């Protein structure tokens, strides 16, 4: 994975401060240790799930579902997986009914995932599904030790797995939360973690990623008042859910009160998919207010060499230049052209991440790259990257409203 920055490097003092803070943080923030974890408990647990199970359903929301969904949707188009994975995240009744139409309950294993063990959306969906299919052996619960969900699971004698200590929801994709659903579908979690490890080692051991990530984070932090919107422009449909995961990670981690002032700060994430969004949002970046930075993601090898047919269309001969061109070449040329156009403007910060392919190793690397970048930027804009009081506030009010309507 290569990340080329087209903006100036920041001063060494800021970068040194950020690096030291992140190094120190490793001692108490759990996600840093996930790449080296022993996955044998997860792979052994997978053996318990009968081969007759064809579908895995994650019931969870936010950090409990988005990471696994990002990896699954990235890998699925290029692999034959052993099971299908579904995400029941929404209380939209039409969506719930439609998802249930796609699965046979007897051939499905449910993973109910909630760190807190009390999230309304998750339990509204769980209650409905459990009333349709009340065999506890068809459910595995993933939660923090001692949570109300763990206590409930014990009452029905269902299995409970734990999140590792000090791993927040949106940083949990490389823990049991993401690894179990992915492994149950035949995704190679060992290689996923190896990819994450490659970025971690490069960052902490003065590799290529150290300078790159520090320069990028320091630039974003220094200019956060002007360039407070960060667009991730990914040139592949398979990265659509990665963009959703990034939006949660960035938004929920970086939109806060500063720790040492009364100011509200934040960097606003936007996920875009090329070439589709060239024909919509791009106008706003190109000619709108100069408040956006853009990170492009390009895939070097799509592992699909489908070509545009070599036919000439009457009156459309101008498009003959497309003839015989592989689609993967075209999509990357589109990305390069948009990038060049933005760079010509001279006042839009641009960088490009080039990933080699759509495998597990790449997915793990991208995830850890973004987690590290989030931690670095959070440190430099002086926020607590790991809490989410704004999300919690909404949850509390909803629970009060629910209690009130019951009288």
Mind telling me the catalytic residues?
Answer: 252, 279, 395
Q: Report which of 141, 143, 188, 185 is spatially closest to residue 164, judged by C-alpha positions.
A: 143
Q: Is 349 in the site for ligand PA5 (CB under 6 A)?
A: no
Q: Rounded CA gap, 375 and 252, in Å?
A: 12
Residue 269 contacts ligand PA5 per CB under 6 A? no
**Which of residues 34 and 355 has its CB atom nearest to ligand PA5 in the complex?**
34
Query: 169 to each of 1, 164, 250, 321, how far by Cα in Å?
Result: 26, 11, 13, 48
Site for ligand PA5 in 387-406 (CB under 6 A): 388, 391
116 binds ligand PA5 (CB under 6 A): yes
Other Cβ atoms within 10 Å of 90 Cβ, number: 14
DSSP state of 221: H
Regarding 115 and contact with ligand PA5 (CB under 6 A), the answer is yes
Structure tokens at 385: 């990257």
For 281, how many CA atoms within 13 A lie in the half-sphere containing its CB?
16
3-class SS of residue 361: helix
As measured in angstroms, the least distance from the Cβ of 66 to ligand PA5 is: 8
The per-residue b/e assignment along 156-175, b for 16 or more CB within 10 angstroms, e otherwise, is: eebebbbbbeebbbbbbbbb
Helix (H), strand (E) at residue 256: strand 256-257
Contacts of 47 (CB under 8 A, 6+ apart): none
CB of 391 to ligand PA5, least distance (A): 5
Compare residues 170 and 224 and give the one whose CB is closer to ligand PA5. 170
The answer to whether the beta carbons of residues 159 and 140 sit under 8 Å apart is: yes
Q: How far is the CB of 352 from ligand PA5 (least distance, A)?
A: 28
Q: What angle do CA 93, 95, 100 make, to 5 degrees?
A: 95
Angle at 216 between CA 242 and CA 175, to 5 degrees: 40
Integer Cα distance of 128 and 228 in angstroms: 41
Give the range of 163-171, 227-235, 296-304, 325-333 binding ligand PA5 by CB under 6 A. Answer: 163-171
For residues 227 and 246, which CB has a smaller minimum distance to ligand PA5 in the complex?
246
- Per-residue binder mask for ligand PA5 (CB under 6 A), 46-65, x = binder: ---------------xxxx-
Among 67, 168, 274, 349, binds ligand PA5 (CB under 6 A): 168
How many residues lie near ligand PA5 (CB under 6 A)? 15
Min CB(129)–ligand PA5 separation in Å: 16
Residue 170 found at the interface with ligand PA5 (CB under 6 A):
yes
Tell me which of 3, 10, 108, 122 binds ligand PA5, using CB under 6 A: 122
**Nearer to ligand PA5 among residue 169 and residue 349 (C-beta):** 169
State the binding string over 242-261 for ligand PA5 (x if CB under 6 A, else -). ----------x---------
Q: How far is the CB of 60 from ligand PA5 (least distance, A)?
A: 6
Minimum distance between the CB of residue 67 and ligand PA5, rounded to whole angstroms? 9
Going by C-alpha positions, the residue among 343, 369, 374 that lies closest to residue 354 is 369
User: Which of the stretches 28-36, 81-89, 109-117, 153-161 binds ligand PA5 when contact is defined by CB under 6 A?
Assistant: 109-117
In this structure, what are the phi and psi dihedrals at residue 380, rounded to the nearest 5 degrees? -75, -25
With contacts defined by CB under 6 A, name the span among 112-120, 281-289, 305-313, 352-360 that binds ligand PA5.
Answer: 112-120
* Phi and psi at residue 8, to the nearest 5°: -70, 155
Of the pair 81, 391, the CB lying nearest ligand PA5 is at 391
CB of 346 to ligand PA5, least distance (A): 37
Smallest separation (angstroms) from ligand PA5 to the CB of 148: 11
Does 176 bind ligand PA5 (CB under 6 A)? Our answer is no
Of 116 and 268, CB closest to ligand PA5: 116
**In 266-330, which ranges are E strands?**
268-273, 292-299
Instruction: Classify 234 as helix, strand or coil.
Output: strand
> Where along the sequence are the contacts to ligand PA5 (CB under 6 A)?
61-64, 114-116, 119, 122, 168-170, 252, 388, 391
């Amino acid at each position: 994975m290569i990340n080329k920055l087209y903006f100036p490097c920041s001063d060494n003092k800021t970068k040194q401060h950020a690096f030291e803070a992140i190094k120190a943080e490793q001692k108490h923030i759990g996600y840093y240790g996930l790449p080296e974890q022993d996955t044998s408990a997860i792979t052994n647990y997978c053996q318990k799930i009968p081969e007759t199970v064809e579908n895995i359903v994650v019931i969870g929301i936010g950090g409990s579902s988005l990471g696994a969904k990002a990896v699954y949707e990235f890998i699925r188009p290029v692999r034959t997986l052993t099971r299908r994975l579904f995400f029941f995240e929404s209380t939209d009744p039409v969506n719930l009914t439609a998802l249930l139409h796609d699965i046979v309950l007897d051939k499905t294993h449910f993973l109910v995932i909630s760190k807190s063990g009390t999230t309304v959306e998750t339990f509204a969906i769980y209650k409905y599904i459990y009333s349709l299919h009340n065999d506890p052996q068809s459910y595995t619960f993933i939660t923090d030790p001692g949570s109300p969900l763990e206590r409930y699971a014990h009452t029905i004698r269902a299995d409970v797995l734990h999140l590792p200590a000090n791993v927040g929801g949106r940083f949990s994709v490389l823990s049991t939360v993401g690894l179990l659903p992915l492994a149950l579908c035949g995704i190679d979690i060992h290689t996923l973690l190896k990819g994450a490890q490659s970025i971690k080692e490069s960052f902490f051991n003065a590799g290529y990623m150290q300078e790159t990530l520090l320069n990028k984070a320091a630039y974003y932090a220094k200019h956060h008042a002007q360039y407070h919107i960060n667009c991730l422009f990914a040139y592949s449909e398979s990265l659509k859910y990665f963009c959703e995961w990034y939006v949660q990670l960035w938004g929920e981690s970086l939109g806060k009160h500063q720790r040492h002032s009364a100011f509200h700060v934040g960097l606003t994430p936007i996920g875009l998919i090329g070439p589709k969004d060239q024909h919509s949002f791009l106008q706003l970046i190109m000619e709108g207010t100069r408040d956006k930075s853009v990170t492009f993601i390009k895939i070097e090898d799509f592992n699909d060499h489908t070509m545009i047919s070599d036919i000439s269309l009457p009156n459309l001969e101008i498009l003959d230049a497309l003839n015989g061109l592989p689609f993967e070449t075209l999509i990357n040329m589109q990305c390069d052209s948009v990038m060049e156009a933005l760079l010509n403007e001279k006042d839009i910060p641009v960088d490009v991440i080039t990933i080699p392919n759509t495998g597990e190793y790449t997915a793990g690397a991208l995830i850890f790259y973004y987690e590290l970048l989030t931690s670095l930027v959070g440190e430099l804009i002086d926020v607590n990257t790991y809490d989410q009081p704004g999300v919690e506030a909404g949850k509390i009010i909803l629970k009060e409203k629910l209690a009130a309507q019951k009288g």
